[in-house]
Amino acid sequence: MMDGVVVIDKPAGKTSHDVVSEVKKILGVRKAGHTGTLDPMATGVLPVCLNEATKLAGFLTGEDKEYLATMLLGVKTDTLDIEGKIISQSDVLLTEEEIRAAIMRMAGKIKQIPPAYSAVKYCGKPLYKWARNGVLLDVKPREVIIHGIVIEDISSPHVTFRVVCSKGTYIRTLCCDIGDLLGVGACLSGLRRLRSGFFSEEMAVSLNNYNDNDKKNKLLEKILPMANLLPLLATIELKDRSAEKLRNGWQPSVEMLKEHDLPLLKAGDMVKFISKGYLLAVAEMLAPVTRLSEFDGKMQAARIVRVFNNISK
C-alpha cells in the first residue's frame, strides 16, 4: 500500500479534481485527495495525499501559500479572472507609483468577499453552482492575511507580483480589490502556486513530461513518506511495545513522555509519534512539558487526534 504525498505540478486547463483522479488511476490507490484547490487556469504546486495520508489533509490545508500572479489592469470580469465575461473596462493611465502604492496597501490583515464563482459553500452548495443558475448571493467578508507582497514587474496594463498569504486567500479577489482601489478595475490573468506550506515547487512533478509508461515510476519515486510530513511538529520515537499499544487505542501518559527529550511544548501543541520510520499518530499536548514532573505518571499527557494504519514496506 502507498501512503504519503506526491506533489504535482498542475497544468493549466485541468481542475484539481482532474489531477487527483489521474494520479489515483496511475498509481491504483484506494483513496486520494488534494490539500487545496487550484482554479483550472492556475498552474503549480498541488499536493495529493494518498491512502492513509488523506487523514493528514486537515493538518496540511491550513498552511500558508505562495503565488506568482499576473494582474490585468483596466478589465473587470464576472469571475474575477481573464476567463470570465467582461463587465467593465477602463483605459485610464496609471503611474507606476500609484500601482505600487495600491498593491502595498493590501499587506497585512484584510477582508475579502469570496468570488461568486468559487468552491465556498452556501447551504451545502458551492457558490459557483448558485452563480451558474443566476443567483448571486450576499456573502460575508472573511479575514485573511497577506504576509508579504513583492512586485516583480510592471508592464502596464499587466502587473506581476509574488504574494505569501494565509489559507482561504483568493488571488482573484485580491486583484479585483486592487483594481477597485485604483478606480480602473482589474482581473487575474495568470497564476502559479509556488508553495503550499511545506510543499514547494522543487518537489513537484509534471505529468506532462512523461509518457504513460513512465508516469507511474516517476510518481512512485516522488512520494513523500508520511513520517517526513508535518516537519514542524516535535517527533517522539516509540519502541515496538508502545507503538502497538498506541495502535490499540492507548493514550500517551506522563510517564511515557518523560522518557523522551522533548522541546518546550505547551498545552495545545501538536506532536507526532513515529516507529521504525513510519508515522503512527498525531496528538495534542494536554499539559506543558515544563509541568509534567508535577503530575502522576499514569495521568494522560496527550490526546491522540489521528492514528494511521501505516504498514507499508
User: Which domains does the chain possess?
Assistant: 4-63+198-227 (3.30.2350.10), 65-196 (3.30.2350.10), 233-307 (2.30.130.10)
pLDDT at 6 exceeding the cut of 90: yes
Cell numbers standing for residue 269:
501543541
Q: How confident is the model at residue 312 (pLDDT cuts 50, 70, 90)?
A: very low
Polymer length in residues for the chain: 313
Please identify which residue in the block is written with the cell numbers 505562495. 66
Q: Average pLDDT in the 44-53 region?
A: 96
Q: How far apart are CA 18 and CA 48, in angstroms?
A: 12
Say which of 3, 39, 81, 177 is annotated catalytic. Answer: 39
pLDDT at 221 exceeding the cut of 50: yes
In 74-218, at which residue ranges do the beta strands (DSSP E only) sit?
Answer: 75-77, 86-89, 108-112, 121-122, 125-126, 142-155, 158-165, 186-196, 199-200
Q: List Cβ<8 Å contacts ≥24 apart for 173-177.
A: 173/80, 173/112, 173/113, 173/114, 173/115, 174/69, 174/106, 174/112, 174/146, 175/69, 175/71, 175/72, 175/80, 176/76, 176/80, 177/106, 177/110, 177/112
Please confirm, yes or no, whether 81 is among the known catalytic residues.
no
The CA-based diameter of the chain, rounded to the nearest angstrom, is 73
Q: Average pLDDT in the 222-232 region?
A: 93
Q: Which of 120, 106, 116 is nearest to 165 (CA)?
A: 106
Q: Radius of gyration over alpha carbons of the chain, in Å?
A: 23
Q: What confidence score (pLDDT) does residue 300 get?
A: 92
Q: Average pLDDT in the 158-173 region?
A: 96
Please check whether residue 98 is in contact with residue 156, taking contact to mean a CB–CB distance below 8 angstroms. Answer: no
Q: What confidence score (pLDDT) does residue 128 get?
A: 60
Q: Average pLDDT in the 244-268 region?
A: 87
Q: How far apart are CA 189 and CA 52, in angstroms?
A: 37
pLDDT at 40 exceeding the cut of 80: yes
Q: Average pLDDT in the 160-172 region?
A: 95
Mean pLDDT of the chain: 90
pLDDT at 230 exceeding the cut of 70: yes
Bond preceding residue 11 cis, omega within 30 of 0: no
Please identify which residue in the block is written with the cell numbers 501518559. 253
Q: Average pLDDT in the 101-115 region?
A: 92
Identify any residues that bridge with 196 across adjacent strands, giving them in sequence order: 65, 199
